[in-house]
Structure 1
Amino acid sequence: MKLALLGTGMIVKEVLPVLQKIDGIEATAILSTPRSIETARELAATYGLGLATSDYEEILASNQVDTVYVGLPNHLHYDYAKRALEAGKHVICEKPFTLRAAELENLVAIAEQRQLFLLEAITNQHLPNFHYIKEHLDQLGDIKIVECNYSQYSSRYDNFKQGIIAPAFNPEMGGGALRDLNIYNIHLVVGLFGKPETATYLPNMERGVDTSGVLVMDYGNFKCVCIGAKDCSAEIKSTIQGNKGSIAVNGAPNGLPSVSLMLNGKDKETHDFNGGKHRMQDEFQAFQDIMAKQDLARAKELLEHSQAVMQVLDMDVSSV
């Protein structure tokens, strides 16, 4: 994989050292705005990227790029992914894939037509601790209640209250708690249980953006509550409760740092199978394996999961 990274923000800075640990991935280019070109050049020099530019067409025309990683603000995901696919490049896109399900469906159609891989960079689906949860769900009996809470007071919230709006709080840029923090909760739940029958979002709105909110998902035989907040904090934890026991995720749903299994009448077991790796390493290893092996079935499975998540966002949250 010859990978171009779009953006110079925190997520790109995080993933660059991770990519160096994965055989088969070569980071070759980075895109920035003209204002951030010096940052791009510094990152290119540090990590051995041959091209740092603010001209996207230069990246799309390069024969040193076969895959594009979209690490840009949410509202840019669709346009930049679409242009990459139309240029014949595979696409790995940060969460949320797009702002609307219809946009993702359009990307899927282009990727299928051009026989290109289209993948969402969502960490929790690839972590060993996630697979442990999935493999032990049947021990819980009938699922009754699922609760996920990813609430952390944003360092940008104080500025936001003063009218200084960062992209993460800008509704025109796809900001807000639902698509920033709560999206990890949604991916976790949909990855385990599939798409719910209904979903209703109850947001706390300030300056036209959801600074926190509660998503209620109804699975018929059990109910799920996903809480995401950038304006307040609480213990970050997820629990899955059944009539024979429960599983808890101890920490953020994007990293699943450890999981606890507590069956009725037995002692709690706490495990961490992630092995201390950075949370992004397993997902990019999976992407490299998929592309190297041309594993179309696995790519389709992951894409169907992403489509289900986008459909949840469209159920009753289209105004957010």
Structure 2
Amino acid sequence: MRLAILGTGKIVKEVLATLKDVEEVELKAIWAREHSREKAVDLAKKYDIASVSTDYEELLACGDIDTVYVGLINSVHYAYARQALLAGKHVILEKPFCPTGKEAAELIALAKAKHLFLFDAVSFLYMPNFRFLQQHLKDIGKVKLVQANYSQYSSRYDAYRQGEVLPAFDPAAYGGALYDINFYNIALVTALFGAPEDFHYLPNRGFNGVDTSGILNMRYPDFAAVCIGAKDSESPCFCIVQGEDGYLKVEGAPSRMPKVTLQRHGGEPTTVNENGPLPRLAHEFKAFAKMLKEHDYDKNVRKLEITRNVIHILETSRRAMMQS
């Protein structure tokens, strides 16, 4: 994979720190808006990236690049991804992919028409600990309840409390707890169980209407799930899948999924960390590069079904919140 990076923000810095040790990916270029050029130049020097660009069309015309990673704010994901696909590049979209189902469907259709890969950068889906979770669902019997809590006091919340609205808390930029942090809980539940029959979002809203925290209730035919996400407060993060014969527990944030425990009635718990020493984002980039190398287009399409389900929940919940 010959990769160009779009952006200079927090997630881009984590990606670059990860990719320096992922041999399957060649970092070819970094793009930024003109006002962030100096940041891009500094990152290029730090990570030995040969090309720095502020001209997106020029970047996309480069034949030395086959894939573009979009690490920009949520509201511009669609436009930059679409332009890259039209230029014949594969695309990796940072979560939450696109704000709306219409935009997501258009990108997926365009990628399919051009037989290009379109990846949703949901890190845990490619972690060995997530595979353990999937494989051992059968061992806990009929599922009755799911609880997921990802609560983390945002580094930008102090500014918000003082009246400064950064993109993370800007409704116009699709900021807020639902699209940012609760996204992971929702993606985890839908990746395990598919789309719910019904769902309802109960937000706590700030002075500009953004959801600083909230609870999403989800109903499946035989069980209920609750997804709690907070950027205005913190608590231990976890996910527990409760079954008639035992439970599975993800300890820590789902974005990192550091440990998974299987507990069956009357038995000893089994706790694993099969992710190994790799940084959390390394698993997904290795998986993306492998799919490209092996031309495993069907696997890419299957993963995008999870994306469709998650975006439908996000968009519908946000619309109901904004109308209330």
What is the TM-score normalised by the length of structure 1? 0.97
2:56 partner letter: Y
SS of equivalent to 2:285: helix
- Aligned position for 1:232: 233
Unaligned 5+ residue runs, structure 2?
Answer: none
What is aligned with 1:99?
A: 99
Deviations 1:20-75 (A, max 9, x none): 22233111111112121111011112222221122211211111211100000111
Distance between the aligned counterparts of 1:182 and 1:316, measured in 2?
12
CA distance in 1, matches of 2:152, 2:195: 26
- Given that 2:24 and 2:286 are in contact with CA atoms closer than 8 Å, whether structure 1 keeps it comes out as no
Distance 2:25 2:162 in 1: 43
RMSD over aligned CA atoms reads 1.1
Worse-superposed segment, 34-43 or 97-106: 34-43
Q: Distance in 2 between matches of 1:17 and 1:158?
A: 27
Contact between 1:89 and 1:116, CA under 8 Å: does it hold in 2?
yes
Q: Secondary structure at the match of 2:136?
A: helix
- Which position in structure 2 is the counterpart of 1:5? 5
What is the 5 A alignment of 1:1-320? 1-206=1-206, 207-320=208-321
Contact 1:198 1:315 in 2 (8 A): no
Aligned length: 320
Give the superposition deviation at 1:166: 1.2
Question: How many angstroms does 1:316 deviate by?
Answer: 3.4
Using the aligned pairs only, state the percent identity: 46
Q: Distance in 2 between matches of 1:223 and 1:137?
A: 16
Q: TM-score, normalised by structure 2?
A: 0.96
Contact 1:200-1:315 at 8 Å conserved across structures:
no
Letter in 1 for 2:55: D
Deviation of 1:214 after TM superposition, in Å, equals 0.4
Tell me by how many angstroms 1:17 deviates: 2.7
Letter in 2 for 1:62: C
5+ residue gaps, structure 1: none
Structure 1: distance between partners of 2:90 and 2:270: 41
Partners of 2:318 and 2:225 in 1: CA distance: 16
